[in-house]
Amino acid sequence: MSLARITEPREPLVAPAIVAALDGWVDAASASTSAASLIARGGEELATFDPDLLYDYRDRRPTLDIVDGRPTELVWPRLSVARVRIEDRDLLVLTGAEPDLRWRELAESLLELALRLGVVEWVSLGAIPAAVPHTRPVPILATASSPGLLRDDERRGPEGLLRVPSAALSALEMRFIEAGIPTVGFYAQVPHYVGGAYPQAAIALLEHAGRHLGITLPLGDLPEEAATTRARLDRAVAEDPETAAYVARLEAMLGEESLPSGDELASEIERFLRGQAGEAGPPPRPGP
């Protein structure tokens, strides 16, 4: 049984690139899927994937709407590819729920689609929790499958070995690397004390990805949402001197312009995977 239901594009594609973001632990504060969904808005759907073959419904249950005691709608996990033309090139936006099953089969299906449509590169979008303050621009860490794919001013890192549990997104990207298709990734560092959405990170991802692709990606309502989020976090910090001191310490650390080490990133990711990230509202108080 095929994983994908594919629709041929209505017109030839121009220098198509895949832009991919999936929910899960590499989507802290839903920053990367928010960015990808905004890019794909209004696009032409080219592929959908059978959820029965990709998801464990006991782990990722469909949602049921009940109105006035009557079941009205069942919404299943969804993964799709939408084609959108921005300026003078096409983007194929892969976004949705991270699959539980058949990662390698999904990678082969996507690669087959990419080769059919003449895809020239893959761009991953992700977001990871990090010890960074909300009062500074969102740091972006970049990866590339080979030298020369990134601008000189992109922050690559971390140096040395970083070994963490893989997201499905990375498994898909690796198949494209094996096939010789250039890949890059942009990963926003989200303050680990932020709960809920963090539109600042989605904006940063869109700006970096757009600059790499040579186009201006839409921001939608994200700037207004980011201003509201910043004001909420500022109020929360101002109400607690201990928390304010902690944020100031993060600001000083960021001022050193040093990349986080692999151990530091791994520690934050493991903390996030354990479900120990801070809740919405004031940041957690620093330890001794």
**Tens-digit pLDDT profile for residues 159-201:** 788 788 899 999 999 999 999 999 999 999 999 888 899 999 9
Cα separation of 103 and 116, whole Å? 20
Q: Give CA separation, 117 vs 16, 75, 167, 236, 247, in Å.
A: 8, 30, 25, 49, 47
pLDDT band at residue 129, thresholds of 50, 70 and 90?
very high
Do 170 and 183 form a contact (C-beta atoms < 8 A)? no
In a domain, 262, yes or no: yes
Burial string for 49-62 (b: 16+ CB within 10 Å, else e) reads bebeebbeeeebee
- The label of the residue with tokens 């050193």 reads 256
Residue 261 sits in which domain range? 13-273
Q: CA gyration radius for the chain?
A: 20
Position 103 pLDDT exceeds 80: yes
Q: How does pLDDT run across 133-143, given as a tens digit for each residue?
A: 999 999 999 99
Please, which pLDDT band fits residue 283 given cuts at 50, 70 and 90?
A: very low
Q: What is the pLDDT of residue 163?
A: 83
Task: Quote the pTM value.
Answer: 0.87
Residue type, 99: P
Domain membership of residue 287 (yes or no) is no
Instruction: For residue range 58-74, list pLDDT tens digits in order.
Output: 999 999 999 999 999 99
Given a contact cutoff of 8 angstroms between Cβ atoms, the answer to whether 97 and 55 are in contact is: yes
What's residue 271's pLDDT?
55
Is residue 285's pLDDT more than 60? no
Query: Residue 256 pLDDT > 80, yes or no?
Result: no
Q: What is the pLDDT of residues 218-231, one digit of tens each?
A: 999 999 999 999 99
Report whether pLDDT(277) > 50. no
44 has a pLDDT exceeding 50: yes
| 254, part of any domain | yes
Residue whose pair of structure tokens reads 């590499």 in the numeric block: 26
| Token pair for 229 | 């989020």
Looking at residue 161, what is its pLDDT?
81
- Give the pLDDT of residue 1: 59
Closest to 97 in 3D by CA, of 45, 51, 144, 28: 51
Q: Could you tell me if 134 and 251 are in contact, meaning their C-beta atoms sit under 8 angstroms apart?
A: no
Count the neighbouring beta carbons within 10 Å of the beta carbon of residue 63: 9
Contact between residue 105 and residue 1 where contact means Cβ atoms under 8 Å apart: no
Residue 205 lies in a domain: yes
In the predicted structure, residue 238 carries a pLDDT above the cut 60: yes
Q: Cβ distance 16 to 89 under 8 Å?
A: yes
Which domain CATH number covers 227?
Answer: 3.40.50.10900
Rounded average pLDDT over 137-155: 94
Whole-number average pLDDT of the chain: 89
For residues 52 and 129, the answer to whether their CB atoms sit within 8 Å is no
Tell me, yes or no, whether 279 lies in a domain: no
Q: Yes or no: say if 282 and 237 are a contact pair by the CB < 8 Å rule.
A: yes
Is 261 a residue whose pLDDT tops 80? no
pLDDT at 13 over 90: yes
Using CA atoms, how far residue 29 sits from 125, 140, 187, 207, 261, in Å, is 13, 15, 12, 17, 22
Q: What is the share, in percent, of the chain residues with pLDDT greater than 90? A: 75
Query: Is 64 domain-assigned?
Result: yes
Inside any domain, residue 259: yes
Average pLDDT over residues 114-120: 97
Backbone angles phi, psi at 159, to 5 degrees: -70, 155
Which of the four pLDDT bands, split at 50, 70 and 90, describes residue 92? very high
What is the number of structural domains in the chain? 1
Compute the average pLDDT of residues 207-215: 97
Q: Which residue has the higher pLDDT, 240 or 62?
A: 62
Q: For residue 95, is it within any domain?
A: yes
**CB distance 156 to 185 below 8 Å:** no
Query: Which pLDDT score, from 0 to 100, does residue 159 have?
Result: 76
Phi and psi, residue 238, nearest 5°? -65, -25
DSSP per position, 183-211: EEEEEEEEETT--S--HHHHHHHHHHHHH
CB 125 within 8 Å of CB 186: yes
What's residue 136's pLDDT?
A: 94
CA-CA distance, 172 to 49, in Å (whole number)? 14
Return the minimum-mean-pLDDT range out of 101-105, 174-178, 246-250.
246-250
